[in-house]
Amino acid sequence: MSTPFWNKKLKCPFCNAEFETTRMRSNVIRIKEKMTDFGNIYEGENPYFYSITVCPNCTFAARNEDFQTVKPQYEPKVLETTKAIVKSGKKKPDIFGLGQSTPPVAAKRHELAIAFMKIRKYSDLGVQAGLLMHLVWIYRLMQDREKEKAAMADAAKAYQVYHEKGGELPENLGEPGVLYLIGDLHRRLGEYKEARRFYERALATKEIKSFPRIAEMTRDMMHIAKEMMEKEEGV
């Protein structure tokens, strides 16, 4: 039986170091269960653990699909940061190994990718929000409730800014899905009033009829949020 992993050779766009990074074969991905915030529970290996590429020389990190498309000449802060890291010669965190990964390593790689995303001149709010959601799901696997809650709060804010700025929304979610997701993050944080507000906004969008599954999920979760709010208020 073939291994679920393979190593890809890359060249860092910032320091020109050549290195290998581990990828997961798509044909071995098996979804066991879907969560209400669109995360997946997998049978066997988890693709979230292999979705970030990190240069072991200058530590530049980004999503696999973005790593080699970044243009250093347009990202002066990232270039300055990576040069300083190489020049410092400081020992780097142990997150660059090949082969099978772990949730803690995956979390650190995502944290690094988010840190670089925040200093990029050409930063995609949707990508940043998506990276934060990956962190939510990874911390959930680790059963680190405090870090999961912090990541959920950050993701809710990121998606709200993304929606308000009128960015191109994911085709599979549209406006209803993004508003629903913000609501579901608030629900999971115990902020039931805010959750219901975003659920209602999702159901009021013009596109909602084009997303029947999201409409159904929104109504279900809105009912649950209402029950939880009434329970807290002692109704």
Return per-residue pLDDT of the chain as tens, 235 residues. Answer: 468 999 999 999 999 999 999 999 999 999 999 999 999 999 989 999 999 999 999 999 999 999 999 999 999 999 999 999 999 877 766 788 888 999 999 999 999 999 999 999 877 888 999 999 999 999 999 999 999 999 999 999 999 999 998 777 888 899 999 999 999 999 999 999 999 999 999 999 999 999 999 999 999 999 999 998 888 876 5
The amino acid at 197? R
Amino acid 17: pLDDT:
94
Amino acid 124: pLDDT:
85
**pTM for the predicted model, two decimal places:** 0.91
**Core vs surface per residue 76-108: b (16+ CB within 10 A) or e:** eebbebbeebbeeeeeeeebbeeeebebebbbb
23, β-bridge pairs: 6
Amino acid 234: pLDDT:
67
In contact, 97 and 151? CB cutoff 8 Å: no
Q: List Cβ neighbours of 59 (8 Å cut-off, separation of 6 or more).
A: 82, 85, 92, 112
Strands (E), the chain: 5-11, 18-24, 30-34, 40-43, 52-54, 61-63
Amino acid 31: pLDDT:
94
Amino acid 1: pLDDT:
47
Question: Assign residue 40 a region: left if phi > 0, alpha if psi is -120 to 50, beta otherwise?
Answer: beta
In contact, 203 and 210? CB cutoff 8 Å: no
Amino acid 125: pLDDT:
87
Amino acid 235: pLDDT:
54
CA angle 166/168/170 to nearest 5° reads 125
